[in-house]
Amino acid sequence: MKIAIVGNSKLALTKNYGSFIDTCDVIYRFNNIDLENNEKSLGSRVDIHCIIGIPSGLIVDSGIHRDPGFNKTLGYLKDCREVWLISPYNTDESKNIALNFYESIGIKKEKLRFPFTQKNYDNVSTMFFQFQKELCYTQKENSSSSGFMIVNKIVNESSEEDEIYLLGFDFIFCEGVKNYSHAFDLKRTDFGNHPLATEGLIMIRYMFQKKLFFLI
């Protein structure tokens, strides 16, 4: 099976992998997206849409979301096969809050998924520590990025026959949050205190292990 994991780095808009992406069996995308007029670079399909559960500011007034980027994203959320809510949901109460919110804006409950708990994030933090210890370096970290969490999950749960292609992730190339970019949230400057160098190095290790292919 061919799997495409398409991030939202501005780097992705400089490539012409759209046709290839659309040939993949499963296409993952993240958060706010806008494929209109970007099909040549990004393709046109969304199979699994991964989005932060209920980010701060996600408030709907009279059916109009306060974030204009989310209003366009809403159409993709409604049309895709599954919606993965990326946050550690540890209680039924927190899950119900998310389910009720997305149902209120027209997303069917049956296609909402909760791929992570806090334990998943803790396990990744342990992996980061062991990886840094192995390479004899230390990078201050807060929490892993949602993009890395999804990529890591897919890589580790895939079969040997699967081909996983990655496009549009700055953590492969940047040296810190100051160089991070977002193709559709151009005014966004707060990307969180993520351990981008560690994430990028682990992705490169996956590449050398032939578990992941970069579209560059």
Which residues, in sequence order, are bridge partners of residue 165?
4, 213
- Phi then psi dihedrals of residue 4, to 5 deg: -110, 130
Rounded CA-CA distance 63/66 in Å is 10
Using DSSP's 3-state secondary structure scheme, residue 214 falls into: strand
The domain that holds 108 is classified in CATH as 3.90.1480.20
- The token duo for 119 is 């334990």
Residue 192's pLDDT is what?
Answer: 58
Share of the chain above pLDDT 90, in %: 31
Residue 28's pLDDT is what?
Answer: 97
Rounded CA-CA distance 115/120 in Å is 9
- The token duo for 184 is 């559709």
Between residues 133 and 56, the one the model is more confident about: 133
Rounded CA-CA distance 182/33 in Å is 10
User: Letter for the amino acid at 21?
Assistant: I
Boundaries of domain holding 210: 2-214
Domains in the chain: how many in total? 1
Lowest average pLDDT, out of 21-25, 161-165, 212-216, goes to 212-216
Helix 196-208 to helix 146-157 angle (10° resolution) is 20
Between residues 52 and 195, the one the model is more confident about: 52
Q: How does residue 140 score in pLDDT terms, banded at 50, 70 and 90?
A: low
Cβ–Cβ under 8 Å, residues 67 and 58 = yes
- Phi then psi dihedrals of residue 56, to 5 deg: -60, 135
- Phi then psi dihedrals of residue 104, to 5 deg: -65, -20
Q: How does residue 96 score in pLDDT terms, banded at 50, 70 and 90?
A: confident
Between residues 33 and 70, the one the model is more confident about: 33
- Average pLDDT rounded to a whole number, residues 198-207: 85
Q: What is the pLDDT of residues 142-201, one digit of tens each?
A: 677 888 889 999 999 999 899 999 988 866 555 444 444 555 554 455 555 667 778 888
Cα 190 to its chain centre, rounded Å, is 16
Q: What is the pLDDT of residues 58-86, one digit of tens each?
A: 444 444 455 666 778 888 999 999 999 98
